[in-house]
Amino acid sequence: MEKKKLLVVGELNVDLILNDIQGFPKIGEEIVANKMNLTLGSSSAIFASNISTLGVDTAFCGMVGEDYFGGFIESKLQEKGVDCTYLRRLKEKQSGVTVVMNYDQDRANVTYCGAMEELGIQDIPWDHIGQFGHLHFSNLFLQNKIRKDIVALFEKAKSKGLTTSLDLQTDPDGVFDFDYRACLPFVDIFLPNKSELLGITKADTIDDAMEIIKPFANSVVVKMGEQGSILYNGQGKTVAQGYLHDSFVDAIGAGDSFNAGFISKFLSGEKLEACLNFGNLIGAINTTAAGGTGAFDSREHYIKIAKEIFNQEI
């Protein structure tokens, strides 16, 4: 039987990354960053690019502008083998841009959404959905048009026989208005980090939050950064330790790379505990290079990093 493709639906932007910044920005003052990179950004695109490099046949559905950044985004996805048939370029909109100001393992972001806000549920290739076996969606709160239809999106994907995964990402407004009761029954793998999980449930601890959403969720994977990750499902709770190392560059896209590692193993039929550990490894590999895709130039590259820095065979 032919192996079906992964369809990634979500936002697209470039990341303008500033490192080695001399102080913190203040109104009316100018500071200097000694390093700068322009890379493929956005949670969805980093996930798609890296999971394609991991060997998963991947297509992307999203919106960019008819501009330089739109061409840059499309070319970077195609370089990693991502099918861009369902990527649309809009003449009337500019492509999204995120300015990332890095400070050690934390950062401040400023995002211009642009074309990404125009993606709607009707833009998903439903007439061709039979070629896909899994749908992944990321970054709900930056995509206003499709946000109102998020429950219908996952319900329809499940009705077409796809497995599904969701990474909400953070809410710039801090509200986390997400109807998890209605949506999560149609999500096979829910992939929040700790702050996002607490944000949608208004709970004080992860365990309290899980008690709140457990009646509605299937498998929940909570990302904890360098502390690792936690899996909650019908079999209970599984904790996987993170991979600490001395080759840290930045954490941009580390959660998205975790997702790529986890979902790649999930689509191969691995047990969820194995998916969890591989997600931690791929997330850690991500942090050894600038940006979300720098450590995944090729299969040979990330395999070399896994062996030399983490003493792990892939």
pLDDT tens figures, 237-253: 999 999 989 999 888 89
Amino acid 4: pLDDT: 82
Residue 1 has a pLDDT of: 41
- The mean pLDDT of the chain is 95
Mean pLDDT, rounded, for 159-178:
96
At 3, the pLDDT band (50, 70, 90 cuts) reads low
CATH of the domain at 306: 3.40.1190.20
Tokens, residue 253: 């896209």
Q: Tell me what percent of the residues of the chain surpass a pLDDT of 70.
A: 99
Q: Is 181 domain-assigned?
A: yes
99 inside domain: no
In this prediction, residues 139-145 reach a mean pLDDT of 95
Q: Is residue 109 part of a domain?
A: no
Mean pLDDT along residues 260-279:
97
pLDDT for the residue numbered 102: 86
Does a structural domain hold residue 72?
no
Supply the pLDDT for residue 293: 95
Percentage of the chain beyond pLDDT 90 is 91
Q: Is residue 107 part of a domain?
A: no
Average pLDDT over residues 278-298: 95
Decide if 103 is inside a domain.
no
Q: How far apart (Å, rounded) are the C-alpha atoms in residues 115 and 97? A: 10
User: How much is the pLDDT for 2?
Assistant: 54
Q: Is residue 265 part of a domain?
A: yes
pTM of the model: 0.94
pLDDT at 280: 97
Tokens of 271: 């047990």
- Its domain, for residue 250, covers 5-11+45-66+82-87+120-310
Give 73-128 pLDDT, tens digit per residue: 999 999 999 999 999 999 999 999 999 998 877 888 999 999 999 999 999 999 99
Q: By the 8 A CB rule, do 227 and 195 touch?
A: no
Report how far apart, in Å, the C-alpha atoms of 265 and of each of 50, 158, 293 are.
13, 20, 19
Region 197-217 average pLDDT = 97
Count up the domains in the chain and report the number. Answer: 1
Q: Is residue 19 part of a domain?
A: no
Strand order from edge to edge, sheet including 106-112: 33-41, 13-21, 96-103, 106-112
